[in-house]
Structure formats: structure tokens, C-alpha cells
A = this chain, B = another copy of it.
Amino acid sequence: MSATIALHPVPIDKLRVACSTCGLKELCLPIGLSDEELGKLDQLVTLRRTFRKGTNVYRAGDRFDALYAVRYGFFKTMVTAVDGRDQVTGFSMAGELLGMDGIGTDKHTCDAVALEDSEVCVIPYGHLEELSRELHSLQHHFHKVMSREIVRDHGVMMLLGSMRAEERLAAFLVNLSQRFTARGYSPSEFYLRMTREEIGSYLGLKLETVSRVFSKFQGEGMISVQQKHVRIIDIPRLRELIGQRPC
């Protein structure tokens, strides 16, 4: 095989990428790496893939061999029970990492689905382990990312295990608001990429309940909703609802 002829034809959705110049490097895996280290990471993350709305990055049961860093777009992850019921376990946006569920068994255990046209950086997992033996800060940061995912999951358990419907939705909105803010978007106005049913699944509620609580919040002047467009009018009051001081 010649150096100029690819063994596997490269799909048109796969492009050269560089962490060193990526606008998300303060959110994503490169956090805290020096320029030299960033250069090495560039050699690792060489592939981008785009996903049309509704398509899967991976499915439960798929062989695991890479993590995916969201470049832009929006994803949901969900697990499906043997009887077919499914549960949305999270929503991922730019700078967040998908696929860590697969490391434990070499197979993915959930589905990751694009909720709008999206793009990810492909991080071959074997190479990540290799490189993280060399770059201590990459190693440490990767561990932090996994740990934070565990902590986030604990938060969801709290949500599902001991909060009422209104608290759950308030927590959901406040969380989205924070994450949008961190990405330079408005804290108070955004489009939901997911349906009421997906929100409900995530929050352990039925879609009708989600809709009703949205209407209630709107009636009380805390938010204004029209379909997927949400404007948060009174964030302090939402925070109060979930037991946090307005700060």
C-alpha cells in the first residue's frame, strides 16, 4: 500500500482537525495542556465526523473503540431495558465527551443520538490511554472528566429520587442555562433541542407533566415558552425552587 493511497477510503465527513486551534479547548479534553502537549494531542485526534439529526454516534452493543468530543450540535444518550422501555441518561453539547460507558466492557451500553446536525472529534481510545501515560495532565484531566460524569449522575439520582416535578424541571432549566452560559450563549434564552418526551424521560416524568409544568412556570411569570423556544425570566426564583439560595 502506497503512502498516498488510503487503504480505507476516507469518507467525506472525515476531516483533519487540530485541538491546538479549536475554540473549545477550554471546555474539552485539552484543558490545562501546554502548547507542546497540545501538539501531541493533535496527532491523536485526527478525525471529525458529522451526524445528521436523528442518527446514532453509536448504539448499545456496538464495539467500543473511541470517545467522541462534541464540536457542535446536541446529543442525547439513552439506555434501553430488555422490555423496550428507554431512559434518557443525559444531553451532551459542545466540549463534552461521549462514549465513556463503553470502556468497562469494550461495548457501548447506551445509544448516543444527534438531536440536531452535529459534529464530533473522534478520539481513538487506545491512543488516548497511550498518550495519557506520557502527558500527566492529560491523564489527570481525563480522570477528572470521568469523575465529573459520575458526580453528574449522582445529581440526576438526587433529581429522580427525591425531587418533585417542578423541582426537576427547574433544575433542568437552570442546568441548561449554566451550560449555555459557559459556552458563551445567553443564560436566559435558548432553543431546546429535545422533545417534551425526551425531557420527560430524562426527568422521570411523562411528557404531559413536562408540558403542564412549563405552562405553570409560564403562568407564574418565571419563564416564557413557545414550543422549543424558552426564555427564562426569573432565574433566582427557579434556583429557589430547587433549594439553592439565589446567590
Contact = CB atoms under 8 A, between A and B. Distances in A.
A160 B223 CA distance: 27
Contacts of A46: none
Contact of A101 (B104, B109, B150, B158): B150
A212 interface: no
Contacts of A105: 144, 147-148, 151
Quick one: copies of this chain in the complex? Answer: 2
A128 B245 CA distance: 38
A244 B81 CA distance: 9
Interface string A39-58: 00000000000000000000
A98 to B, nearest CB: 12
A129 interface: yes
A104 B145 CA distance: 7
A149 B244 CA distance: 28
A143 interface: yes
B129 A162 contact: no
Given A82-B243, A243-B83, A244-B82, A160 B204 contact: yes
A86 to B, nearest CB: 8
A30 interface: no
Contact of A156 (B82, B104, B157, B243): B157
Contacts of A202: 161
Contacts of A150: 100-101, 104, 146, 149-150, 153
A159 to B, nearest CB: 9
Given A150-B149, A157-B89, A243-B82, A129 B140 contact: yes
A103 B147 contact: yes
Contact of A147 (B100, B133, B204): B100
A66 interface: no
Most buried by B among A151, A204, A244: A151
A207 interface: no
Given A85-B162, A104-B150, 14 more contacts: A79-B155, A79-B158, A81-B162, A81-B243, A87-B157, A87-B162, A132-B133, A133-B133, A133-B139, A143-B146, A153-B154, A153-B157, A157-B157, A161-B203
